[in-house]
Amino acid sequence: FVDLVYANVLARTPDGPATLQRRHDIRRHVLAYQPTHAVIEFGPEIAADPNHRSVARFEADITRLVDRLLEEGIDPILSTGVRLGERQAQSQGLLDEYNAVLRRLAVSRGCRLADVDAHFRSLDTYKMSLVAPNGAVPTFTGSREMATVLLTGR
C-alpha cells in the first residue's frame, strides 16, 4: 500500500491551495514503490484551507489522479474525510461535497470506498472520542476505526 494522504504528490502552488503535481512527481513518490494499492484521502485539509479549491476543481484533480493510478494498474482506495472540528466547522459543507465526489468517483470507476465519514457518523450515538479536540487528527480509537474501514472498504 502507498498512503497518499500526506505523500509529496500534493504541494502548495503560488496561486493557492494544494494541487496535484506533475507526472514525474507521481513517478518518483508513488510509482517508484511499485504499489498494488493506494489510499486516497485529501478532503479535510483541502476543505479547511482558507484558499480551498472549488468542488469542480477537487473533482477534476482527484479524477485525474485516480485515472492515472488505474492506468498504472494500481488499485485506488478512496477514503472519505472525517467531520471537521469546531475551528474548521465553517468548511464542513465543502467537505461534505468533497466526500460526495469521492463516493461518486468510487462508483463510476469501480474503486473501493472506505467511507470513514459514514462510519464515524454511525458511531456518534456511542459518544466515542474519535477525533482530537483540535479536530485535526484522529485519536487512537479514531485511528483504529479508520484502519478497520480501510481494510474492509469495498
The CA-based diameter of the chain, rounded to the nearest angstrom, is 45
The confidence score (pLDDT) of residue 50 equals: 85
The confidence score (pLDDT) of residue 7 equals: 38
Name the amino acid, one letter, at 27. Answer: R
Burial class of residue 14 (count of CB atoms within 10 Å of its CB; 0-12, 13-18, 19+): exposed
Q: Burial code of 95-104, b = ≥16 C-beta within 10 A, e = fewer?
A: bbebbebbbe
Nearest to 66 by CA among 127, 123, 20: 20
Q: What is the pLDDT of residues 29-68, one digit of tens each?
A: 788 888 888 888 877 778 888 888 899 999 998 998 899 9
The confidence score (pLDDT) of residue 6 equals: 36
Q: What is the pTM of this model?
A: 0.78
User: Which run of H or of E encompasses 122?
Assistant: helix 116-122
Nearest to 74 by CA among 147, 153, 148, 4: 4
Residues of the chain where predicted confidence (pLDDT) is lower than 70: 1-24, 126-128, 134-136, 154
The confidence score (pLDDT) of residue 79 equals: 92
